[in-house]
Amino acid sequence: MVKLKLKKKVWQIGIPLLLTTIVGIILGTNFYNDYKYKQTYEYKLISHGYTKEETEKLLNYFQDEEKRNQLLEKEKNSTILELIKEKYYIHSNLESYLAYKEKNKKKSNNEIIAVINTHQEENAYEETKESDTEKGILININKFYKVNEDYEPQEITNINLQYAYANNKLANVANEAFVTMWNAAKEQDLQLIVNTSYRSYKSQETMYENTKAANGSRTADNMVARPGHSDHQTGLSIDVYEKNYQTMATFKDSPAYTWLKENAYKYGFIERYPEGKEYITGFTYEPWHWRYVGEEAAKTIHEENITFDEYYAYYVENQA
């Protein structure tokens, strides 16, 4: 009888103790899980004001811990969600995108991305960098990237007079590609001819100074690159006309120009300063100026309808 009472007493004490332990474990687990969740980027971003859906998008895009921490340093900004949707978004430029957007609210996100990526918000000819001459056919020379007066392309050759006016030179690889393109155009009864190709630093200096003397600095800077900043110094660029359209004023209306826009990329050439993209290239529209970049890059530039400057910023510089 005593044993039965003891067992009953133990049972009465043990059940509550067991239940208390289980509840304690559950509460402790929940507390720990809650604590762990509050350490997550999801919780912290939601605490910043982002919705769960917005947070998922940000975390899917920013998988690098450093980039996520940078997001947490800012208050909620819906512009970030808009910017990361843009194809050519570069995370290292985020602060510059946001600052430029604040000052230029009417510009589209696509325009903002393009302007910042290509340095167009910077002071041309003042905030410059040395061109990476190791990039070969993808070297970029413009108002923000320069080469010195000693730079000249390797393996440069005279262009045969069948394809160009006298005293024109091109890098071998560009020359070979141009001859192939010239023959393809010829089959369509179009006779291309190179008016200008490689120009040395000294030649560009003379051209720029003459233009400035005749038109003033502002006009000269829109029309002609300063020495060391000319695409022609790459030895990969040509100013090309067609037999019956041999002036700047008429070439844009020529069948040859139409053919080049549709086919030049197949031979590795792209229009260097296209119409409507002046705010990116920094130069006025030049339908006669074509640049050799190789077939792979030319195909991408053609299909995505971007400038070489945009291509370089995203596909070359950003991948380095």
Determine, yes or no, domain membership for 299. Answer: yes
Determine, yes or no, domain membership for 145. Answer: yes
Catalogue the active-site residues. Answer: 286
Q: What is the pLDDT of residue 35?
A: 65
Q: What is the pLDDT of residue 295?
A: 98
Determine, yes or no, domain membership for 287. Answer: yes
Q: What is the pLDDT of residue 178?
A: 98
Q: What is the pLDDT of residue 259?
A: 98
Q: Where are the beta strands (DSSP E) in 182-314?
A: 192-196, 237-242, 269-273, 286-292
Q: What is the pLDDT of residue 171?
A: 97
> In terms of residue numbers, what domain contains 226?
129-319
Q: Where are the beta strands (DSSP E) in the chain?
A: 129-130, 145-146, 156-158, 169-171, 192-196, 237-242, 269-273, 286-292
Q: What does pTM read for this prediction?
A: 0.84
Determine, yes or no, domain membership for 191. Answer: yes
Q: How many folded domains does the chain comprise? A: 1
What CATH number does residue 158 fall under?
Answer: 3.30.1380.10
Determine, yes or no, domain membership for 231. Answer: yes
Q: What is the pLDDT of residue 42?
A: 81
Determine, yes or no, domain membership for 98. Answer: no
Determine, yes or no, domain membership for 18. Answer: no
Q: What is the DSSP string of 2-23?
A: HHHHHHHHHHHHHHHHHHHHHH
Q: What is the pLDDT of residue 4?
A: 47
Determine, yes or no, domain membership for 76. Answer: no
Q: What is the pLDDT of residue 130?
A: 96
Q: What is the pLDDT of residue 32?
A: 60
Question: How far apart are the C-alpha atoms of 59 and 44, rounded to whole Å?
Answer: 11
Low-confidence ranges of the chain (pLDDT < 70): 1-21, 23-24, 26-35
